[in-house]
Amino acid sequence: MTVHAHPELTKNQSLVFGSLSDAGGPLTAYAILDILRENGFRAPLQVYRALDKLVEYGLVHRLESLNAFVACSHKGCSGHGSAAFAICEKCGEVSEFTPDDAIQLLKDWTDGKGFRLSRTTIELRGICRSCGAET
């Protein structure tokens, strides 16, 4: 597996990426803004601009169904096929994985339709093992 190179992060990008890494789970842009106010952040655009770059570099993923962002679990996803996410609706835990076989089947479908695939969003909702074991 090759990890694609990306430019050094700017100060704002590092702060945003750091907040996501520390969180160990998804954060909304406004939650990141609140965390980084003590570092001088004042406006949402500072967060969104950093997130745009981090997503572009493959260091962060956007979770569409949560309107939130999460640090990549693989030190950058650029090197392999797209990622998928299992999201526990009880505790909020997010597990990232890379279902290359399933994505290939989806790609077979798009290829058959002449659809040029550029990005996949796969988000699974449910109850994780530890939450399902309770009571």
**Residues engaged in binding a copy of itself (CB under 8 A):** 64-65, 84, 86, 88-89, 95, 97, 99, 101-103, 105-106, 109-110, 113-129, 132
Q: Which of 124, 67, 120 is nearest to 95 (CA)?
A: 124
DSSP code at position 81: S
What is the pattern of x (binds DNA, CB under 7 A) and - over residues 2-31? -----x--xxxx--------------xxxx
Least distance to DNA, CB of residue 74, Å = 22
State yes or no: residue 44 binds DNA (CB under 7 A).
yes
Ranges within 65-84 binding DNA (CB under 7 A)? 67-68
Residues 6+ apart with CB under 8 A from 39: 15
Hey, what are 18's tokens? 């750091």
In 19-110, DSSP assigns E strands to: 60-63, 68-71, 84-88, 94-97
Minimum Å gap between C-beta 104 and a copy of itself is 8
Pairwise CA distance, residues 133 & 86, whole Å:
17
Give me the residues that bind DNA (CB under 7 A), please.
7, 10-13, 28-31, 40-46, 48-50, 53, 67-68
